[in-house]
Structure 1
Amino acid sequence: MSPASGAVQIFLDRDFKGASATLDEGSYDVNHLQAGAVGNDAISSLKVADGYEVTVYKDAGLKGDSKTFTADAAALGEFSDTISSLKVTKKGVVAPAPRSSVPRIQFRYPDGALVPQDIIAPLG
């Protein structure tokens, strides 16, 4: 099965029954869920469109225990009625690596050209 439209469809009850909401790619926090037809700590099943995945979290702010679904799930096991945030992404899309917190330093060649270099390890 695939969602009615969008990337993911969430349901209030098991087996794709009850109130539902269709979600596009993006992050959804507790306030988004509370404003919808399904609500916070109320998702019991979900459908995932081909090419997408949804990661569900037990806490707001995409925190807490999580599980990623890549296909329809008629029941969510321990995640049933405990989801407070979720993130819908395209399969295989890797988030960009976080920028390094390593300080940068610039070296100047004798001709005046600047060459940025990463400091690999602190001195001393």
Structure 2
Amino acid sequence: MLPVACQPGNAPTANQSFGMGIYRVQFGGLDTTTNGAADGYQDYSCRARAAQLVRGGSYTLVVRTNPNVDETVRAWLDTNNDGQFAAAEQVLASTNARQHQATFTVPATAPAGVGLRLRIAADYANAPVPTACSTR
């Protein structure tokens, strides 16, 4: 497995008091719930939970953030498995919402038989837009 170019840190403590963060992710048969920013950055490796993706297949990614405040969410799928999250690999861009959803197609050039990294980042709607390596 290739090294990941960056590993985000935990969100600021202030985010916890507002209930910010990612609470639920649904994707390719996966359904993962968390405690949002209180859980901090998590690496949910595909060993125990693997979505079975097919090259050329269309998939819907649903991300639920806290129910009290709008957040901005971005998600990237490392479709060339190079350990980077390039702008062209962004699969979700949602702003000012509490439930975020996007449908995308896995490129025909994606490698077969290997786990692809999915990075999801969220932050308060009025904060800077999160990046694949930001600490939000």
Q: TM-score, normalised by structure 1?
A: 0.44
Work out which of the two has the higher radius of gyration on C-alpha atoms and give 1 or 2.
1
Larger RCO (alpha carbons 8 Å, 6+ apart): 2
